[in-house]
Structure 1
């Protein structure tokens, strides 16, 4: 949602700046320029991508503006909880939790359910890695569509301006000089539409989709590695230290402080129990 807010703000600031220079909002409206720029861009997308891919653009936009990044530190702590439960009670103890927790990441649920069902660790890893690869390819196609639109829109803007100038210059001999300035101004609106849509809409959305895809890929890589380690029945320390390598420095510090904070809390609880 924050992306949508900043998208709106970017256009608001652009228009405010134009009004501050003494311009009129009505002079920014030209349906012919709109048709040339966005119609040409849509035509280019239809030529570059299949109809099946284009039909998914609504879902891609939804992901861009509603997608949320996962707290990787919390994810690692949950996987640590899963390891502890499995070490104490076995994989079958996860059955109820997997069925009841509807908010659980579907990718993680699939991997853990396979482990509960006794699937070979290598087979689970291969299955999840294939799903990760296919998911990454879908994300790349979504971002590529907006990258393509971002490259096409400015060009279509120039085409629209050239068409407008051809019309203006073609009637220059009979033109009303008072209206000539307005006609030339309208011709340049196509360039404005092309540049602004590319740099405020299409390219930022493409970049946002790429960043979300990288975050999702990292999350899934952590899950894949964690499930393999849980099946190997490693110690909690090895699990945390291994998964910590996927984090940046800030999250590593957060993980360590969270871990030692919980550890001190457990020791404090034990001391209180002894005193009682």
Structure 2
């Protein structure tokens, strides 16, 4: 559980609501279903228009990483690779086959299989780098939906404000309906700017940092596997892996 993300969301929303209360305003005045529908549906529609459905679905699924991020097991992986290096140097790479079968990560399993099959070191690097590049490109395309939402939401909020003002102008003869129109106008702007800067953009940036961690983890693994394939001293392999953990 990532408590910093939860704390950040609570602090951001709580600060706005508390500020509204301190100024003497009613928190209920910030609850405008019409403004919410304009901003959310408009933003989602714009993002869907520019994004492949598969990337959109993937990006929505990645949102769970904000509170339940994947485990950063780089230190554990570095220790495993170091032990594989010692075993390979002492008894040969064929003895790593049992370790390959016990691995759950497909990328780690693939790298070990290439090593055990006697694939040349540079060929291992090239094959694994293709996988890394495809993974990173796919994840970044999915994350772009949050960055795009952060760009569209304020503009859609302004559109909501204009629609609210149009509603006001149409009902100048009926003072009882002026208040709701003005409320929608201003609250739509708040929703647009608020969702963009307090949720969408921070979510996108956090997801990018998590993808970077996974990319670094995979690059570290490649360096270790290539070092083993080159017959390097286990101490050299461990020192090289340690540079990825600083």
Correspondence list, 1:11-50, <5 A? 11-50=13-52
| Structure 2, gaps ≥5 residues long | none
Q: Distance in 1 between matches of 2:102 and 2:62?
A: 29
Q: Distance in 2 between matches of 1:98 and 1:192?
A: 53
User: Residue by residue, what CA displacement relative to the aligned partner does 1:93-127 show, whole Å, maximum 9, x if unpaired?
Assistant: 2222222344xx33222101221233332322211
User: Residue by residue, what CA displacement relative to the aligned partner does 1:37-85 show, whole Å, maximum 9, x if unpaired?
Assistant: 1111111012111222223233222344422352434432221111011
Q: Distance in 2 between matches of 1:107 and 1:97?
A: 14
Alignment match, 2:234: 236
Q: Distance in 2 between matches of 1:205 and 1:57?
A: 10
Alignment match, 2:95: 93
Q: 1:89 to 1:219 in 2, by over 3 A?
A: same
Correspondence list, 1:134-213, <5 A? 134-172=134-172, 174-176=173-175, 180-181=178-179, 183-213=181-211
Give 1:5 shift.
4.6
Give 1:182 shift.
5.1
Alignment partner of 1:124 is 2:139: no
| Structure 1, gaps ≥5 residues long | 252-276
Alignment match, 2:74: 72
Computed over aligned residues only, the root mean square deviation of the Cα atoms, in angstroms, reads: 2.1
TM-score by length of 1: 0.81
Q: Distance in 1 between matches of 2:165 and 2:201?
A: 28
SS of equivalent residue, structure 2 residue 40: helix
Give 1:181 shift.
4.7
Alignment partner of 1:246 is 2:244: yes
Q: Distance in 2 between matches of 1:235 and 1:84?
A: 8
Q: Distance in 2 between matches of 1:186 and 1:101?
A: 55
- Is the contact made by 1:94 and 1:116 (CA closer than 8 Å) also made in structure 2? yes
- Is the contact made by 2:147 and 2:204 (CA closer than 8 Å) also made in structure 1? yes
Give 1:25 shift.
2.4
Aligned residues, how many?
244
Give 1:31 shift.
1.3
Select between 47-56 and 10-19 the one with higher mean Cα deviation: 10-19
